[in-house]
Amino acid sequence: MSGAFVVLEGPEGGGKTSQARALAAALTEAGYPTVLTREPGGTQLGSAIRDITLPISSVSISARSEVLLYCASRAQLMEAVVRPALAQGHIVVSDRFGYSTIAYQGHGRGLDVDSVSGVVRFATGGLEPDLSILLDLTPEAGLDRKRGLMLAGNADEWNRFEEEEFAFHSRVRKGYLEMARNAPAGSWVVLDASLPFEALQAKIMEVVSAMLEHKRVLRQTV
């Protein structure tokens, strides 16, 4: 029995982390064995890479180094978490995937997108999500939302990517939308991340439920 791989993607401030948690909880409550993970992270190696690459510090990291570090984290996650869970028939919900590297380092940093995509494919062994959900938001709205959450004490500190100029974030968003347009029919869904949390949560559950029904992924029986 094979499971299903669901990825939440998008620019800063789109609510991916909170929505991924809510989705995993809803799927578990509905009877689906579900694994929640994130990139970078999800493994001891991935967490160490996250601690190196995200905080604002004096450590300089080149764009190519970012690609290789994130893909090292990704390769470990695929082998240690994602593939084993899918093989057991579980649903894997991931807060980001390889598309983030293509959007941020390819489109955002200006690296050759085909080259970056090739490194991502190597890291994942060609594994593709069954459904990628793009939580789309303008850079202005996303960063304003993050500032508000930080002031309220409900978000982590500003990271290296959030401090980038608006032009960078605009390129990242454009890259995401381009990937969604060019993806095979049904493999990507673009949702308006400016919707209220509960409304967006309901839309996410709706599209995921439709995918699971199409794949005939089974609920756990007691």
Residue 126 zone, left/alpha/beta (φ > 0; ψ -120 to 50; rest): left
pTM higher than 0.75 for the full model?
Answer: yes
Fold of 4-215: Rossmann fold (3.40.50)
The 10s digit of each residue's pLDDT in 53-99 is 998 886 899 999 999 999 999 999 999 999 999 999 999 999 999 99
**How confident is the chain (222 residues) per 10-residue block, as mean pLDDT?**
91 94 98 98 97 87 98 99 97 98 99 99 98 97 83 73 92 98 97 98 98 84 54
What pLDDT is recorded for position 1?
47
Token pair in block for residue 111: 């690296």
Q: In whole angstroms, how large is the CA radius of gyration of the chain?
A: 17
Least Cα distance to 16 among 218, 176, 211, 186 occurs for 176
What pLDDT is recorded for position 143?
87
Half-sphere exposure of 54 (CA within 13 A, CB side): 15
Percentage of the chain exceeding pLDDT 70: 96
Residue-range domain boundaries for the chain: 4-215
